[in-house]
């Protein structure tokens, strides 16, 4: 069976360690240098529950001046790693807006997502308590919360693998529905990693018009 490819997007405020986490996960290295990201992409093959899958990981800019790029990332991503730093309360607060935007764009409150509190090695500078971060994860519908240290490579794989598992589950559920639908109506071929862009149509019960337009030749 061919390997599945999944798209993961790493989001979060500037300087929380998104790139360091990603580099640890993908390349097993700790990056020390001052190197703000604009947009980096990686690929990694991993085994999750006995299944081989390929992860396409998009590491994004935390710098707020680049927010205009976010929407595109959210459209293409299937799972999201929302990273903050336990040494900065505002970096946790910023995640709310990101999560809102993801849910809106995906039109799916159950979108695969994990919250990551990075820099757990800097415990004496901690300003976000576990309880507080956990409360946020609860309020988002029991989203999983991981505390990681990219520097020590603690909990890094766990966070990514969890996210991957969520995507696989979602993917399986969607393809079942798709298979059921296929009987009545041929679905246009789409790459499996692409989310349908018109998903919210269902809420208005007008899914019978994929272009939003009805044409009638008179």
- Residue 36 makes contact with another protein by CB under 8 A: yes
Q: What count of other Cβ atoms lies within 10 Å of the Cβ of residue 6? A: 25
Which of 1, 28, 35, 188 is the binder for another protein (CB under 8 A)? Answer: 35
Q: Which residues pair with 154 in a beta bridge?
A: 149
CB closer to another protein, 76 vs 134: 76
3 Cβ contact partners less than 8 Å away, ≥ 6 residues apart: 45, 52, 53, 54
Rounded-to-integer distance, Cα 154 and Cα 147, Å: 8
Which of 1, 2, 186, 189 is the binder for another protein (CB under 8 A)? Answer: 2
- Residue 100 makes contact with another protein by CB under 8 A: yes
- Residue 191 makes contact with another protein by CB under 8 A: no
In the complex, least distance from residue 16 CB atom to another protein, rounded to whole angstroms: 8
Which of 25, 37, 55, 140 is the binder for another protein (CB under 8 A)? Answer: 37
Rounded-to-integer distance, Cα 72 and Cα 212, Å: 22
In the complex, least distance from residue 183 CB atom to another protein, rounded to whole angstroms: 27
Task: Name the token pair of 28.
Answer: 């097993």
- Residue 137 makes contact with another protein by CB under 8 A: no
DSSP-assigned letter for residue 188: P
- Residue 212 makes contact with another protein by CB under 8 A: yes
Task: Name the token pair of 20.
Answer: 């360091």
Which of 7, 9, 28, 39 is the binder for another protein (CB under 8 A)? Answer: 39
**Window of 59-67, 143-151, 166-174, 178-186 that interacts with another protein by CB under 8 A:** 59-67
The residue among 66, 53, 75 whose CA lies nearest residue 18 is: 66
- Residue 125 makes contact with another protein by CB under 8 A: yes
Binding mask 158-177 for another protein (x = CB under 8 A): --------------------
Rounded-to-integer distance, Cα 130 and Cα 173, Å: 32
| 3-class SS of residue 81 | strand
- Residue 32 makes contact with another protein by CB under 8 A: yes
């Amino acid at each position: 069976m061919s390997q599945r490819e999944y798209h993961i997007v790493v989001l979060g405020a500037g300087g929380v360690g998104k790139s360091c986490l990603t580099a640890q996960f993908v390349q097993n290295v700790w990056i020390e240098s001052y190197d703000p990201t604009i947009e980096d992409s990686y690929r990694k093959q991993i085994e999750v529950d006995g299944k081989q899958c390929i992860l396409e990981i998009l590491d994004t800019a935390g710098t707020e001046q680049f927010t205009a790029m976010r929407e595109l990332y959210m459209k293409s991503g299937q799972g999201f790693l929302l990273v903050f730093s336990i040494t900065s309360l505002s970096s946790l607060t910023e995640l709310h807006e990101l999560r809102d935007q993801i849910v809106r764009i995906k039109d799916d409150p159950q979108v695969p997502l994990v919250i990551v509190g990075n820099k757990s090695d800097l415990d004496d500078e901690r300003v976000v308590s576990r309880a507080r971060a956990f409360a946020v994860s609860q309020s988002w519908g029991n989203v999983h919360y991981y505390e990681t240290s990219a520097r020590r490579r603690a909990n890094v794989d766990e966070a990514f693998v969890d996210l991957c598992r969520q995507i696989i589950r979602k993917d399986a559920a969607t393809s079942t529905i798709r298979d059921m639908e296929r009987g009545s109506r041929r679905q246009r071929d789409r790459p499996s990693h692409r989310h349908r862009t018109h998903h919210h149509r269902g809420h208005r019960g007008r899914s019978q018009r994929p272009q939003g337009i009805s044409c009638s030749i008179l």
